[in-house]
Amino acid sequence: MNKKELIDALSPGTDPAPFFALADKVRRDNVGDGVHVRGLIEFSNTCRRNCRYCGIRAGNPKVRRYRLTKEEILACARTAVSLNYRTVVMQSGEDPAWSPRDVIPVLEAVKKETGLAITLSIGEHSREEYKALRAAGADRFLLRFETSDRELFKALKPDSDYDRRFACLAWLKEAGFQVGSGVMAGLPGQTLESLADDILLFKKLDLDMVGIGPFIPNPDTPLAGSAGGTLDLGLRMVALTRIVTVNTHIPATTAMGTLHPQGRQRALQCGANVLMPNISPVEHRVDYSLYPGKICVSDAADKCAGCVDAMLKSLGRTRAEGYGHSLKNAPKG
Ligand code: 5AD
Ligand code: FES
């Protein structure tokens, strides 16, 4: 699809049903009916940055900051094993006390003890640090570029640099990571044209994974009064991303489920093939509030697993076999 076709498909006046159906078929034909389940460990909500949309920004004094210890992270990884998850996603703010150097011994311990695939989501670091993390055994890395619109990026991430963000994505790829990126949909000032550019950029960057969620305004941030994204726009973005990128791994995000009780289910029916249930300790979940109303904050990991399996059953889908590595360089069939 070209840019004009994408803009048209994103427009509220266009009936999405035909391309939702096409996205579902592209998903089935290229990544199958299996859904990869990744256990999410939010191991620190401390962050040095001040993204205007994000609840754990450094400038939000209301956040009760926490850091899990190495032992607590290992305990989460054991939970993942017990629930038959094959991947853990270790996510944090850009916490100077959990630098790549500090993360390395933990991921080595997780790898050695559990053999799980490890995805990191810990923000912007140097080329050398990315290489070291990869050498230590991390398999994948998530770093959303948030928006392809340079001006909007600058307005929303005042202490980040647009070009450096994309340099980070190139370094991650060079270091041998399977790389995921993505955006929020419905940001203040974001146009359909820039969302179409986002999708074309997913393709150009040849990503292994693409995460898309609606922007949900957080009352404790500068964007408190903004409108926020809709489920409809989020689903259109997921569907078009599937059609354009074909065999990427695309999660039905928690933000999608927060906006609507059937949000994740709907995403799985129009292109998504991944779920990322939370396996963080329940006592810290409310403190990792990027946006308000986040689902599952008081559910123990095993309840989320039950929920996931019930959801898959209701959709006629199953958990996927294996680690769920990238399909980019895998032989088709
Ligand atoms: N609404 C929706 N998504 C958000 N994120 C951060 N803040 C919000 C918000 N208010 C997303 C960003 C980030 C990911 C971890 O969470 O896209 O990359
Ligand atoms: Fe932490 Fe944006 S607020 S990276």
Question: 90, 91, 94: which is closest to 58 by C-alpha?
Answer: 94
pLDDT reported for residue 184:
98
Looking at the chain, the whole-number percentage of residues with pLDDT higher than 90 is: 96
pLDDT reported for residue 331:
55
Query: Looking at 162-166, 211-215, 216-220, 301-305, which range is the least confident one?
Result: 301-305
Query: In CATH, what class is 3-319?
Result: alpha beta
pLDDT reported for residue 56:
98
CA pair distance 126, 162, nearest whole angstrom: 15
Does pLDDT of 241 surpass 90?
Answer: yes
- With tokens 């396996």, the residue in question is 279
Which H or E element spans position 245?
Answer: helix 231-245
pLDDT reported for residue 79:
97
CA of 29 to the centre of ligand 1 (A): 30
Domain ranges for the chain, please list them: 3-319
Instruction: Confirm or reject: Cβ of 257 under 6 Å from ligand 1.
Output: no
pLDDT digits (tens, 9 = 90+) for 243-254: 999 999 999 999
C-alpha distances in Å from residue 232, one per residue of 17, 63, 185, 267: 11, 30, 10, 10
pLDDT reported for residue 137:
97
pLDDT reported for residue 329:
79
CA pair distance 247, 1, nearest whole angstrom: 16
State the average pLDDT over residues 11-27.
98
* Strand bridging mode 178-185 / 209-214: parallel
Query: From the CA of 211, which ligand is nearest?
Result: 1
Q: Which atom of ligand 2 is nearest to the CA of 157?
A: 2
By most ligand atoms within 8 Å of CB, the mutation choice from 62, 91, 94 for ligand 2 is 94
Looking at the chain, the whole-number percentage of residues with pLDDT higher than 70 is: 99
State the average pLDDT over residues 284-301.
92
**Would you list the DSSP string of 144-171?**
--B-S-HHHHHHH-TTS-HHHHHHHHHH
**Cβ contact 295:272 at 8 Å:** no
pLDDT reported for residue 333:
43
DSSP reduced 3-state for 275: strand
